[in-house]
Structure 1
């Protein structure tokens, strides 16, 4: 008996299912381009920006695998992934309205936690959504379409404060400790766009039923035979969990002791890294205890287990992702302070010159995101001429060189040029790894593995939050521009690591 294969979707059906990413990226772009500005306005020192920003990646570390696991294993009459789109959209829109009205720094940090968690609730299932809805020969188009909407949304959202000032005459300055009206109105617009775009996808795209998905999976198994990816992961014995728990916990304890004994020479932000390792060790020990007591068949243990039983291609891509995303966090955290201090010559957040520089950073963010739109259309052509690995490597090299160029370019207007290179890298980061990965994942764990894959987006951000403040203040003599140089070196390393990745036999069109 031949089973029915997953049907191809039309261009406009794929457009509709990916349109929600326009709103999701509106939220992320406003967050990335303006949160450091909000923190500094409310009294944060640039040396503390990384530790304040750690709220965002820690939130993703917790939320993404949970949402992935839940969306893999639940079904409602509204669908499998779509309920999470709606919940995230409602919460994120509210957070976007509240964030620029934070009267105190601690409240802004708390709102960042809430906003990032809400955005992740909507975003994480969208990666698995492509795998659910599209046959393998259309997944490349699906991820490219997501990259396209990411670029469009980020271009507009990143430049919104600048547009509010220059197009609508809304003030971009405010008394000390107050958020400018241009930033507030930009966040209000972002909240509305986020909700409308996500709801467009929810209302125009119908998910397949569990029975249909099983039928499509059976058809893939018949066509692909031995090359078909099955879920062969098993819960590891308790001893393995205990072994990893002791190793990681011990490393964290030793590192914590070293930091404590040398706190004058080091930086307290390094505790983020050391305590994180201790916590990870404790989680492994807890998983081992659950398995030993016969209670290992639960979502928590499965996620901890799957982290160590990833498909081989996913393990190789994890290193590439790690060193690709470290520079992105460095840019989001330090771009404003780097440009305002190095290129505009001021750290006074109340001055017109500082706010002019901060607005220019928004324009630069729009440039790299605008480049993403063009690059998302060009990447499939480059893949056809070469392959996925070469395409990704070239784009990461362009991005790494772009970061390093910031040190040598003095005229702020010319910073647009290296941001084009960053845009090509960003478009590639958002699409190519997922194109390689999607055909290497077992059908039933698409969501949870996509969530775990995001660990290697989150972990480098936590590392950046731990060490970048130390490097800027202790090593680079308070010059934030060098955080971008470190980011550039990291991206060039990621380009080299691409060569280790084994592409799946099936290539995306």
Structure 2
């Protein structure tokens, strides 16, 4: 096997730089979609159902794109065409979603917003999966921890900027952050325009600066025989659709043991993350701003002639502060990412991963403690705002959540990458996305019911449930096998033929 050359720090940086922009857009979505859909008429119970679009798109899109990118070799590259195409489509959806009321003649604004959310998520997933595989392709094994840590750093830098942007546009630029009935706040709309532009720019940088290895060179670095690979690909193209589907599920059955064990950890951690993204805004609006749960009930709001101004003001202020909190956990994640490689090399990836998830679980569980409504002036350097003391102190649990987030973005992939066959990295990374999408789907189906039926729409308790799930994830890491030498079991003749749904 030919020795794969080491990359300089800036080469590794360029490989993942586009992920900064994609995550910028994703952060805008995470911090503002619940707010947008609430403004357009969604209630607390239905919010999690709308958010189901995200994991469903990931479940469908990422394995398809993973398989397709494994088989793509052209002038642009192997993974780059999908990264670029996904970013362009996501940018279009980002520009259209906040303008849902303009398309009222086609469908209700809330439904149009949901459709744009689906398009946006599908496009993000087209870009996400190849970025993961690009690091595995381009970075040699001995630099893998560094490669995924740099990617985690860039992801969090993008998340910080994307999360705080609506707040900055309101409190520094002076745009309005309170939405009129059935519309989206101007600060959010402009933020989505800016996010779309930055996303395209950073992705173009990665595509321009990263020269992917041509097939012969790539196979030589991975110890593969190009003729044998081409023979296998040719055989796959001759398979019927039924055989391809059987092959796909065969690959799932023959996935590495490490991948199966990581799936349990992923279930608990992503179940918790989904709850945070959906319900942080109503949770802190109720717990820190003191707004009663009835003000999130769409039926109650429709029964009123006029919604009191303080309701819109509280939701707008809390919505902006969610962006700051999400930026805070991303900042702490970015800082932790700088040390993540050294810590993992020192104490091991498993222990690093487990302790990080434990920190996140404690962070979620502590949300309920920060409910002091006393107004306080918060100096954020770029501006000063008056918010409840409890809201300001919520920055503290963001430290633990940021540590968990940094580990979630890097450790599972660093552990998994060594157990995957290089010719199937893309599709296995896509299949691994099932472990991200499935827990979010379960969370989306049941979290709204739990919130309304068990917690009487008091959203702070659903955040505590997320904390319990994250702690279970930390315990589950103990049972994961971290062995870079593990190989994938040899599939049957049918299952070895991977589904190529792009054919």
TM range (shorter): 0.7 to 0.9
Q: Is the 8 A contact 2:264 2:473 kept in 1?
A: yes
**How big is the shift at 1:219?**
8.0
1:247-288 deviation digits (Å, cap 9, x = unpaired): xxxxxxxxxxxxxxxxxxxxxxxxxxxxxxxxxxxxxxxxxx
One of 96, 119, 126 as aligned partner of 1:114: 119
1:16-57 deviation digits (Å, cap 9, x = unpaired): 111001011011101100000001001111111101111111
SS of the aligned residue for 1:19 comes to helix
Computed over aligned residues only, the root mean square deviation of the Cα atoms, in angstroms, reads: 1.9
Residue equivalent to 1:351:
312
Residue equivalent to 2:192:
187
Q: Distance in 2 between the 1:488 and 1:303 partners?
A: 34
1:145-184 deviation digits (Å, cap 9, x = unpaired): 1100111000010011100011101111132111111101
List alignment gaps of at least 5 residues for structure 1.
Answer: 221-229, 234-290
**How big is the shift at 1:505?**
4.4
Q: Is the 8 A contact 2:46 2:448 kept in 1?
A: yes
Q: Is the 8 A contact 2:76 2:207 kept in 1?
A: no
Q: Does 1:402 align with 2:363?
A: yes
Q: Distance in 2 between the 1:200 and 1:297 partners?
A: 39
One of 456, 471, 496 as aligned partner of 2:475: 496
SS of the aligned residue for 1:6 comes to coil
Residue correspondences, number = 435
Residue equivalent to 1:211:
216
SS of the aligned residue for 2:368 comes to coil
SS of the aligned residue for 2:394 comes to helix
Residue equivalent to 1:23:
21
Residue equivalent to 2:176:
171
Q: Does 1:485 align with 2:464?
A: yes
Q: Does 1:336 align with 2:288?
A: no
Q: Is the 8 A contact 2:179 2:312 kept in 1?
A: no
Q: Distance in 1 between the 2:348 and 2:192 partners?
A: 40
Q: Does 1:389 align with 2:350?
A: yes
Q: Distance in 2 between the 1:321 and 1:174 partners?
A: 36
One of 45, 53, 56 as aligned partner of 1:55: 53
Residue equivalent to 1:318:
263
Q: Is the 8 A contact 1:65 1:303 kept in 2?
A: no
Point out the more displaced range, 302-311 or 178-187. 302-311
**How big is the shift at 1:353?**
1.7
SS of the aligned residue for 2:423 comes to helix
Q: Distance in 2 between the 1:193 and 1:297 partners?
A: 42
List alignment gaps of at least 5 residues for structure 2.
Answer: 102-108, 233-237, 297-310, 372-389, 487-503
**How big is the shift at 1:342?**
1.7
Q: Does 1:306 align with 2:251?
A: yes
Residue equivalent to 1:360:
321
Residue equivalent to 1:377:
338
SS of the aligned residue for 1:412 comes to helix
Residue equivalent to 1:155:
160
Equivalent residue runs for 1:239-258 within 5 Å = none
Q: Is the 8 A contact 1:99 1:108 kept in 2?
A: yes
Q: TM-score, normalised by structure 1?
A: 0.83
Residue equivalent to 2:436:
457
**How big is the shift at 1:425?**
0.1
**How big is the shift at 1:491?**
0.5
Q: Does 1:198 align with 2:203?
A: yes
Q: Is the 8 A contact 1:400 1:490 kept in 2?
A: yes
Q: Is the 8 A contact 2:20 2:157 kept in 1?
A: yes
Q: Distance in 1 between the 2:173 and 2:185 partners?
A: 14
Residue equivalent to 1:283:
none
Q: Distance in 1 between the 2:343 and 2:84 partners?
A: 36
Q: Is the 8 A contact 2:170 2:177 kept in 1?
A: yes
Q: Which runs of 4+ in 1 moved over 3 A?
A: 293-297, 347-350
1:104-153 deviation digits (Å, cap 9, x = unpaired): 10000000000000111111111111111111011111111110011100
Q: Distance in 1 between the 2:133 and 2:367 partners?
A: 36
Q: Distance in 1 between the 2:77 and 2:429 partners?
A: 19
SS of the aligned residue for 2:5 comes to coil
Equivalent residue runs for 1:264-303 within 5 Å = 296-298=242-244, 300-303=245-248
SS of the aligned residue for 1:344 comes to coil
Q: Is the 8 A contact 1:5 1:219 kept in 2?
A: no
Q: TM-score, normalised by structure 2?
A: 0.84
Equivalent residue runs for 1:23-172 within 5 Å = 23-103=21-101, 104-172=109-177
**How big is the shift at 1:408?**
1.9
Q: Does 1:430 align with 2:435?
A: no
1:212-237 deviation digits (Å, cap 9, x = unpaired): 111112289xxxxxxxxx9xx9xxxx
**How big is the shift at 1:372?**
1.0
1:474-506 deviation digits (Å, cap 9, x = unpaired): 011111111111111110001001000111146
